[in-house]
Amino acid sequence: MDLLPGDASSIDELRAAYQSELVSDARMAAETAYALAFRYRNEDVNGRRRFDLAGVWATQAIELLEELPSSTIDEVVSTRPLVGGVPLPDLLHAGVVRARLADVLV
């Protein structure tokens, strides 16, 4: 996966952003966890793919999203189009994460 221009955060920067967002905005933290899961699944990190860490981050995104309200479309709309080079779906909820990252959630 190539990073898209204007949002080429390193994995370390994304992890730091996640920690900050976790205290201030759970939806943004879930979006960042989703992006981290994609990055760990799709990029070589220190010379190898980290499917194990992709699964950890996908699970974290699911757990956060399950705690958030999700009964209306407005409650599941992504707050950003892109995080760390990863395009976010327009609507992000636990079911979307499970579907898009099923291969690392086994």
Pairs from 20-25 (Cβ < 8 Å, separation ≥ 24): 25/79
Backbone torsion region of residue 2, taken as left when φ is above 0, otherwise alpha when ψ lies between -120 and 50, otherwise beta: beta
Angle formed at CA 85 by CA 49 and CA 32, multiple of 5 degrees: 80
Residue listed under structure tokens 């205290």: 23
Averaged pLDDT score across all residues of the chain: 92
3-class DSSP string for 57-75: HHHHHHHHHHHCCCCCHHH
pLDDT digits (tens, 9 = 90+) for 53-100: 999 999 999 999 999 999 999 999 999 999 999 999 999 999 999 999
